[in-house]
Amino acid sequence: MSLILHIDFDSYFASCEQQFDPKLRGKPIGVTAQNGRTCIIAASREAKKLGVKSPSRTWEAQRIIPDMAFVPAHFEKYWEITQKFLDICKDFSPYVELFSLDEVFMDITATENLFGGKYLVIDKIRERIKNEIGEYITVSVGISHNKFLAKLGSGMNKPSGLTEITVKNLLEIYAKTKLTDFCGIGRRIENRLNSLGIYTPLDLHKTPLDVLVKEFKDVEGHFLYNLGQGNDDSVVVPYYFPSETKSVGRSYCLPQNTYDQRVIVQTIFELCEEISIKLRRLNKKGRTVHLYLGGERSEHGRKTITEYIDNGAEIFKLCQLLYKEWEWDKVSDIEQKMVRQISISVGNLTDSKNLTLSLFGNEDKKSKVSKTVDKINEKFGDHTIRNGFLLYGPNLKTVPNGFMADKWERSKLVG
């Protein structure tokens, strides 16, 4: 049986800031986005204990903690710490998968005995984090025989927690958790499960496969059934191995809440352009577009077409269809039309080289124009050439995501 660890940093961004600046240690702090928005993207352990969660707005946090300190995010520094952490983990197993900036999976099945067993492996990793990164940065760890249960365990006893989930204690663990503690179950899925009379992980565990497949169709139904049974056959993929890109997306938190339909639509268009550039760099095209709008009312949906696309305008057309279906552009009930966050992604990807060219040459012409614009913007800077619709639109500040993407691509090349 496999032995998987999920190692998750505690209050990562905030802990990093407290490690950088000793004056912040022991105090409730909130890390804010770099785009000028009064939004907390990470709260310190001290702030969480007093009731401040992330994400939240600074004025909401100050109602709870009047003297709470706010510091801007420093993503380059966080990435440097993540790289140091990866170097530490590699010394204990070659199978280390970077799941996000602040969490990894490790398969120590073949190496635990080299270091005295799983608990000593964890102790040694924590000791090296303390000595090589900083004593104020801590991790919580989940141990299990698969990735899903290991991740579930790491979130159960924060901070500096350790939870092991086995076949024997699975139902005991399920009795202590919520459906939304499961990676893959959000509020929308939870509501649909509730409509079936499934309110807890134990309920899900008892639910027959055919009931879930009838409600959620084949793929998602089987996925939820496996969660209920504690099954997961996915393997730990080392971060230095090239991986197949399944989707390309972009999420953006607006500098301020807006009801302005032109600003909302322009931002959607700009995000579509960014995604199209990334697709072309990866030599990928997709045919499913997903759009999420978050505000006082949130909506999300997807559109799938038969042809594969990598053009920003074509991605935007599908977003427009969803936008109109939701009637977000109507003037009535304006309080429910405010937007603070927009997320877009393109999935169902394939390699561009695998697609046949159009008999009429239209697609080839569009592709040449897009690639020419890409080269000009790469040479002279983003937004040097942009669609006329964006003439008075916002130039999105994409440093964190763009920086991380570029850094990650380079780090994989150098191993």
Among residues 216, 243, 270, which one ends one of the domains?
243
Q: Coil, strand, or helix at residue 338?
A: coil
The pLDDT value recorded for residue 94 is 93
Based on the fold, state whether residues 252 and 359 are members of the same structural domain: yes
User: Which parts of 91-196 fold into alpha helices (H)?
Assistant: 118-132, 147-154, 170-174, 187-195
d(CA 200, CA 316): 39
Whole-Å CA distances, 363 to 285, 332, 348, 385, 397: 12, 40, 19, 20, 30
pLDDT band (50, 70, 90) for residue 402: very low
Q: Is 368 exposed, middle or buried (0-12, 13-18, 19+ CB in 10 A)?
A: exposed
Among candidate residues 46, 103, 112, 273, the one labeled active-site is 103
Is there a domain that residue 265 lies in?
Answer: yes
The pLDDT value recorded for residue 397 is 47
Nearest CA to 129 out of 218, 234, 240, 9 is that of 9
Q: CB-based contacts of 40: which residues, under 8 Å, 6+ apart?
A: 30, 31, 32, 52, 54, 55, 56, 57, 58, 61, 70
pLDDT tens digits, one per residue of 195-206: 999 999 999 999
pLDDT tops 80 at residue 176: yes
Mean pLDDT (the chain, rounded): 83
pLDDT tens digits, one per residue of 42-70: 899 999 999 998 777 888 889 999 999 99
The pLDDT value recorded for residue 175 is 96
Based on the fold, state whether residues 63 and 212 are members of the same structural domain: no
103 flagged as catalytic: yes
pLDDT tens digits, one per residue of 261-290: 888 898 999 899 889 988 988 889 999 999
Report yes or no: 28 and 46 within 8 Å, Cβ to Cβ.
Answer: yes
Distance of CA 202 to the CA centre of its chain: 27
Is there a domain that residue 171 lies in?
Answer: no
pTM: 0.69
Based on the fold, state whether residues 254 and 234 are members of the same structural domain: no
d(CA 254, CA 342): 8
Nearest CA to 343 out of 263, 285, 289 is that of 289
Is there a domain that residue 82 lies in?
Answer: no
Is there a domain that residue 156 lies in?
Answer: no
Q: Is 38 exposed, middle or buried (0-12, 13-18, 19+ CB in 10 A)?
A: middle
Is there a domain that residue 293 lies in?
Answer: yes
Percent over 70 (pLDDT), the chain? 80
pLDDT tops 90 at residue 252: no
Based on the fold, state whether residues 181 and 308 are members of the same structural domain: no
pLDDT tops 60 at residue 375: no
pLDDT tens digits, one per residue of 298-342: 788 889 898 899 988 899 999 999 888 887 766 544 445 678 888
pLDDT band (50, 70, 90) for residue 103: very high
Based on the fold, state whether residues 285 and 325 are members of the same structural domain: yes
pLDDT tops 90 at residue 238: no
Percent over 90 (pLDDT), the chain? 51
Q: Coil, strand, or helix at residue 227?
A: helix
Based on the fold, state whether residues 258 and 393 are members of the same structural domain: yes
Based on the fold, state whether residues 256 and 402 are members of the same structural domain: yes
Q: Which residue has the higher pLDDT, 414 or 98?
A: 98
The pLDDT value recorded for residue 356 is 60
Among residues 57, 75, 93, which one ends one of the domains?
75
Q: Which residue has the higher pLDDT, 414 or 343?
A: 343
The pLDDT value recorded for residue 413 is 37
The pLDDT value recorded for residue 242 is 61
The pLDDT value recorded for residue 415 is 36
Is there a domain that residue 185 lies in?
Answer: yes
The pLDDT value recorded for residue 117 is 96
The pLDDT value recorded for residue 396 is 56
pLDDT tens digits, one per residue of 132-161: 999 999 999 999 999 999 999 999 999 999
The pLDDT value recorded for residue 85 is 95
Based on the fold, state whether residues 332 and 297 are members of the same structural domain: yes
Q: Which residue has the higher pLDDT, 238 or 363?
A: 238
Is there a domain that residue 401 lies in?
Answer: yes
Based on the fold, state whether residues 346 and 330 are members of the same structural domain: yes
Is there a domain that residue 63 lies in?
Answer: yes
Neighbours of 120 (CB within 10 A): 12
HSE at residue 168, side-chain half, CA atoms within 13 A, is 1
- Domain, as residue range, for 229: 176-243
The pLDDT value recorded for residue 371 is 60
pLDDT band (50, 70, 90) for residue 400: very low
Report yes or no: 389 and 266 within 8 Å, Cβ to Cβ.
Answer: yes
The pLDDT value recorded for residue 38 is 65
**CATH number of residue 26's parent domain:** 3.40.1170.60
Report how many domains make up the chain.
3
pLDDT band (50, 70, 90) for residue 377: low
